[in-house]
Amino acid sequence: MAFEITTKTWPGKIPEITLGKDKGGGFRTVTIGGEETLPFHHFEGRTANRPVIALEVPDSDPENWIELAKEPYRDVLDNPVAWAKRAVDDFGADLLCLHLRGAHPDRGDRSAEECAELVRTVLDETRVPLIIKGPGPSDKQNEVLRKCGEAAEGEGCLLASAVEGHYQTLVATAIAYGHYLVAETPIDVNLAKQLNILISEMNLPPQRIVIDPLTGGLGYGLEYTYSVMERIRLQGLGGDPMLQMPMICFVGEETWKVKEVKTTAEDQPDWGDQRGRALLWEIGTAVSLLISGAGILVMRHPEAAAVVRKAVGELMGEGN
Amino acid sequence: MALTGLQIFKLLPNTNCKDCGFQTCLAFAMKLAARQAELDLCPHASEEAKEILGAAATPPIRLVKIGTGPREVTVGEETVLFRHDKTFYHATAIALSLTDTMPDDEIAQRISEAEGINFERAGENLTVNLLALLSESGNAERYAETARKISDESGMPLILCSDDPQLLKPAVDACAVRRPMIYAATEKNWESMAELARSFKVPLAVRHHGSLSDLHDLASKIREAGVEDLVLEPGAGTLAMALENQTLIRRAALEQSDKSFGFPTLVRLGGGDEGPLTVSSAATLAICKYASIVILDRYEPWMFLPLLTLRQNIYTDPQKPLQVDPVIYAIGEPGPDSPLAVTTNFSLTYFIVSTEIEGSGTPAWLAIVEAEGLSVLTAWSAGKFGGELVGKRLLEMGVEEKVSHRKVIIPGYIAVIQGEMEDAMPGWEILVGPEEAGDIPAYLKEVWE
Ligand code: B12
Ligand code: SF4
């Protein structure tokens, strides 16, 4: 009996989303989505765009990061604009994730106006699309993201994140100023769908939503995220329009906080060299989420990002 | 592929004679479908029915065993494409390679390093599984001697790697009782390799990096030559190709009951000049996407904790999180004055917290409250770890007899339950511990001196 490949096609398709704004002068956009098949199943369907990698840019010195993660930015820790430029120019970020952590009342309580100014400067100076991540679901986040959204009108930014109970202001902001929205729910297909419905009912088109299925890092819930993403993608391709969004995974923040990454080789000799172990912790999380359906990976360490970028290239069938 | 009750019913005589002990043929068919009865019970079943049901009962992917004794490796017998549909059963076995040109003391050292890789995580021991001995000397005697030594001295199963059957034969002979796997049969050598595997009754890897249909033909021929335990190695030159080939093989086995692809698969990595991080990223894909065995020709000590943790994650049963018994555990040798802490029965949580307490050097009592195997915050959000409930359970568990003081430490992330717990445990002081378990040692030092 000879072997013949049997292929599968799907009724659903993931719509394409183009982040950023093409205004000439070296400004870049990034297009994600467009999958008509399971991740990287090129033998049976089209994957229109490669998944992209965003690097994290904290708005202020991230005092809770370990040394290893700060190392590439040692001299610009308190200069988010220089940090952002380096992430793009030297480390090849496709886009940036500006984390407005300093706007949190416990971390400096930076004003919405200051945040908006920073967003403007980063946009003008780096020329890549921007994910604007607020300080966490709260009234302050709503205020901050509204001001930032206004300052970045028409720039096609991705605002993060709308959650159950805190989404209305962000939806209105995305509609008013032409942005995209991350909809975050805790590792559950039905909750993801429900939030997308609520957001769509406020008239933000589903093609403007990116799902954050919530990342459990390697060893800390990764398998749950992995499976929920596979299920979301299967249902989306199966035809459910409320689950056809591209997915984003905040890989960096989930991996760099865990003990296996923070512990030195002196403290745990049998775990081996900390640097390789830590980078692999981030790479392993990223690659597994890539093959379960991520369209945007938000990563922390440029070296880990470089290895994952190479993996994306191979998975897209480039090179040998 | 499993048959439904109705499909089985159609194969039965439909006389309802009750000889099988069931009221009707249909009732019996349902039991068969649920695998709660065997076909032998029906004396009237036709040969055809026996054949079809027999084929349906054999697993679509063969179970293959390599090695003997406590470190025996079992791969295959998977039943799904997506882990959420059931679970993945036999975790990817990791093989570390060494060569017969290495000096004996280096070989000995590598073996003891490989055997020593053992991380305890969430109640499991994470280890690497196999040694792959490459033949680089080209000397059959040296190769056989090395293989014999390894199999005498190490409990780890062996993969004997060479494309030359002549060279392999003495080595296979030398350690056949330990059931090594031969690697690999190819287009060129398959007849002698099949003969070798058959006569020594050992598993055989089949390698073909060209088209899948060529690999399929090769596997078919070897099967027909009478070798039952095969492991397939398709091309994995790029990650895209690895993903495609592994997926198509798994699908053909599960969905088309393809017999020649109904075997575990193998991926070999690290033979080129890629750096160890790139090798690891390929290993990540292999573990997620169906590889039953990964041979690493290049490895670094720091690769193992992340890769083995990933493997543990992917092969965890998604229907049922690993749990520990909800009792009061003694960490170290605590007495009535020792601290008492509480957490959930999620294995990972228990493991992390108990490790930290142990590391702190302060013996303590750790009370585990049943919470359906959920982590602290998940359990609390799901309403399984509220203050009243936790307080009540602690008293029922008899914490009052364990300790003479009246203090209990709760996880920092759920400080909000403090008030309710105080109400549920009159006379007790509820201490809010740190959020991260890593800060427990410092906390105990400060609070418990
Ligand atoms: C994996 C996961 C799940 C899995 C469950 C995994 C499991 N077995 O628990 C699934 C997908 C099933 C799940 C479901 C839900 N989840 Co959930 N989940 C997570 C996730 C990603 C990781 C949890 C985990 O495994 N942590 C690792 C363990 C080891 O952590 P831990 O138990 O807290 O232990 C640490 C500390 O607490 C401390 N510690 C533990 N014990 C003790 C004891 C003492 C004395 C001390 C001092 C310290 C200490 O040490 C440990 C390490 O530092 C988190 C988000 C995240 N990234 O962390 C969300 C999260 C916990 N989930 C959340 C929610 C809301 C839910 C749901 C309620 C969603 C819903 N509405 O359905 C459901 C509830 C499930 C149910 N049965 O109804 C929220 C909780 C929000 C909140 N702040 O309260 C979180 C934080 C996500 C979020 N940001 O929204 N979840
Ligand atoms: S013994 Fe066979 S024929 Fe008789 S009732 Fe049972 S299944 Fe039907």
If you take atom 7 of ligand 2, which residue's CA is the nearest one? B25
Going by C-alpha positions, the residue among B322, B122, B386, B382 that lies closest to residue A186 is B382
- The A residues from 237 to 296 touching B (CB cutoff 8 Å) are 259-260, 262, 270-277, 279-281, 283-284, 287-288, 291-292
Q: What is the distance, to the nearest Å, from the Cα of residue B141 to the centroid of all Cα atoms in its chain?
A: 35
Q: Which amino acid is at B118?
A: N
Q: According to the 3-state scheme, what is the secondary structure of chain B?
A: CCCCHHHHHCCCCCCCCCCCCCCCHHHHHHHHHCCCCCHHHCCCCCHHHHHHHHHHHCCCCCCEEECCHHHCEEECCCCCCCHHHCCCCCCCEEEEEEECCCCHHHHHHHHHHHHHCEEEECCEEEECCEEEEECCCCCHHHHHHHHHHHHHHCCCCEEEECCCHHHHHHHHHHHHHHCCEEEEECCCCHHHHHHHHHHHCCCEEEEECCCHHHHHHHHHHHHHCCCCCEEEEECCCCHHHHHHHHHHHHHHHHHCCCCCCCCCEEEEECCCCCCHHHHHHHHHHHHHCCCCEEEECCCCHHHHHHHHHHHHHHCCCCCCCCECCCCEEEECCCCCCCCEEEEECEHHHHHHHHHHHHHHCCCEEEEEECCCCCCHHHHHHCCCCCHHHHHHHHHHCCHHHHCCCCEEEECHHHHHHHHHHHHHCCCCEEEECCCCHHHHHHHHHHHCC
Average pLDDT for chain B: 94
B128 pLDDT exceeds 60? yes
Q: B328-331 and B364-369 as β-strands: parallel, antiparallel, unpaired?
A: antiparallel
Do A3 and B261 make contact, defined as CB atoms within 8 angstroms?
A: yes
The CA–CA distances, whole Å, from B374 to A35, A130, B88, B425 equal 34, 35, 21, 23
User: What's the pLDDT at A79?
Assistant: 97
- Residue B429 bridge partners (DSSP): B407
Please, which pLDDT band fits residue B40 given cuts at 50, 70 and 90?
Answer: confident
**B352-370 mean pLDDT:** 94
Phi and psi (nearest 5°) for B132? -110, 115
Give me the percent of chain B exceeding a pLDDT of 90.
86
Question: For chain B, where do the domains classified as CATH 3.20.20.20 start and end?
Answer: 64-314
Q: How confident is the model at residue B250 (pLDDT cuts 50, 70, 90)?
A: very high
Share of chain A above pLDDT 70, in %: 99
Tell me the CA–centroid distance for residue B46 and ligand 2, in Å: 11
Chain B residues 137-176 within an 8 A CB cutoff of chain A: none
Q: Which CATH superfamily is domain B64-314 in?
A: Dihydropteroate synthase-like (3.20.20.20)
Looking at all shown ligands, the one closest to residue B38's CA atom is 2
**Facing residue for A223 by CB, picked from B284, B301, B316:** B316
Find how far residue B118's CA is from the centre of its chain: 14
Distance of alpha carbon B279 from its chain centroid, rounded?
Answer: 21
From the options 3.90.420.10, 3.40.50.11600, 3.40.50.300, 3.10.20.30, give the CATH code of B328-448.
Answer: 3.40.50.11600
Task: Please count the structural domains in chain A.
Answer: 1
- DSSP, collapsed to helix, strand or coil, labels residue A268 as coil
How far apart are the CA of B273 and the centre of ligand 1, in A? 41
Lowest-pLDDT range of B41-45, B130-134, B366-370: B41-45
CATH topology for B5-57? Answer: 3-methyladenine DNA Glycosylase II; Chain A, domain 3 (1.10.15)
pLDDT at A320: 45
Residue pairs between chains A and B whose CB atoms are closer than 8 Å: 158
- Under an 8 A CB cutoff, do A291 and B289 touch? yes
- Model pTM? 0.92
- Find the mean pLDDT for residues B251-264: 94
**Ligand 1 neighbour B376 (Cβ under 6 A):** yes
pLDDT at B123 over 90: no
CATH 1.10.15.40 positions along chain B are: 5-57
> Does residue A319 carry a pLDDT above 60?
no
pLDDT at B5 over 90: no
Mean pLDDT of B329-342: 95
Domain of A263 in residue numbering reads as: 17-313
Residue B296's pLDDT is 98
| Residue having the nearest C-alpha atom to atom 18 of ligand 1 | B378
**B383-417 pLDDT per residue, tens:** 999 999 999 999 999 999 999 999 999 999 999 99
pLDDT, average across residues B426-437: 95
Ligand 2 and B25: CB distance under 6 A = yes
Q: CA B70 → CA B67, B74, B96, B275, B404, distances in Å?
A: 9, 11, 18, 33, 44
From chain B residues 199-228, the ones with a CB under 8 A of any chain A CB are 212-213, 216-217, 220
The long-range contacts involving B163-166, CB below 8 angstroms and separated by at least 24 positions, are: B163/B188, B163/B189, B164/B135, B164/B189, B165/B189, B165/B192, B165/B193, B165/B195, B165/B196, B166/B140, B166/B192
Q: State the average pLDDT over residues B123-129.
A: 94
Q: B residues 259-318 near A, CB within 8 Å?
A: 260-261, 276-278, 280-282, 284-285, 288-289, 300-307, 309-310, 312-314, 316, 318
Min Cα distance B159 → chain A (Å) is: 25
Whether residue A320 lies inside any domain: the answer is no
CA distance B255 to B242: 20
| Cα dihedral B242/B246/B251/B254 (nearest 10) | -170
Do strands A209-212 and A180-184 pair parallel, antiparallel, or not at all (unpaired)?
parallel
Please count the other Cβ atoms lying within 10 Å of the Cβ belonging to residue B118. Answer: 12
Say how many Å lie between the CA of residue A223 and the centre of ligand 1: 13
Task: Tell me how close the Cα of A247 comes to any Cα of chain B, in angstroms.
Answer: 18
Is A9 a domain residue?
no
Q: Are residues B220 and A219, on separate chains, in Cβ contact within 8 Å? A: no
> Do you know the residue count of chain B?
449
Nearest residue of B to residue A4 by CA position? B213
Nearest to B243 among A221, A291, A310 (CB): A291
Residues A92-120, mean pLDDT to the nearest whole number: 96
A220 Cβ below 6 A of ligand 1: yes
Taking the C-alpha atoms of residue B446 and residue B381, their distance in angstroms, rounded to an integer, is 30
| B72-122 pLDDT, tens digit each | 999 999 999 999 999 999 999 999 999 999 999 999 999 999 999 999 998
- Which burial class, exposed, middle or buried, applies to B36 when counting CB atoms under 10 A from its CB (0-12, 13-18, 19+)? exposed
Q: What is the pLDDT of residue B32?
A: 85
Chain A's closest residue to B306, CA to CA, is A281
In ligand 2, the atom with minimum distance to the C-alpha of B28 is 7
- Check pLDDT > 70 for residue B1: no
Residue A86 domain flag: yes
Cβ A292–B288 below 8 Å, yes or no?
Answer: yes
Arithmetic mean of pLDDT, B222-248: 97
Angle at B428 between CA B424 and CA B432, to 5 degrees: 90
Put simply, the answer to whether B301 touches A273 (Cβ < 8 Å) is yes
* Residues B132-146, mean pLDDT to the nearest whole number: 96
**Which CATH number characterizes residue A89's domain?**
3.20.20.20
SS3 A261: helix
Residue among A187, A194, A298 whose CB has most ligand 1 atoms within 8 A, to mutate: A187
Between A180-184, B31-35, B122-126, the lowest mean confidence (pLDDT) is in B31-35
- Identify the band that residue A1 occupies on the pLDDT scale cut at 50, 70 and 90: low
Residues 48 through 77 of chain B touching chain A, CB cutoff 8 Å: none
- C-alpha distance from residue B275 to each of A280, A299, B297, B300 (Å): 12, 20, 12, 10
Rounded distance between C-alpha atoms, residue B443 and residue B434, angstroms: 7
Among the listed residues B261, B209, B208, the one whose alpha carbon sits nearest the alpha carbon of residue B62:
B261
Which of the four pLDDT bands, split at 50, 70 and 90, describes residue A124?
very high
How many angstroms is it from B349 CA to the middle of ligand 1?
A: 10
For residue A10, being part of any structural domain is answered with no
Q: Do B119 and A270 touch (CB under 8 A)?
A: yes
Query: Considering the domain boundaries, does residue A71 fall inside one?
Result: yes
Backbone angles phi, psi at B34, to 5 degrees: -80, 5
Chain B residues near residue A277 by CB distance under 8 angstroms: 302-303, 305-306
B403 CA distance to ligand 1 middle (Å): 29
The whole-angstrom distance between residue A175's C-alpha and the CA centroid of its chain comes to 20
pLDDT in tens, A138-164: 999 999 999 999 999 999 999 999 999
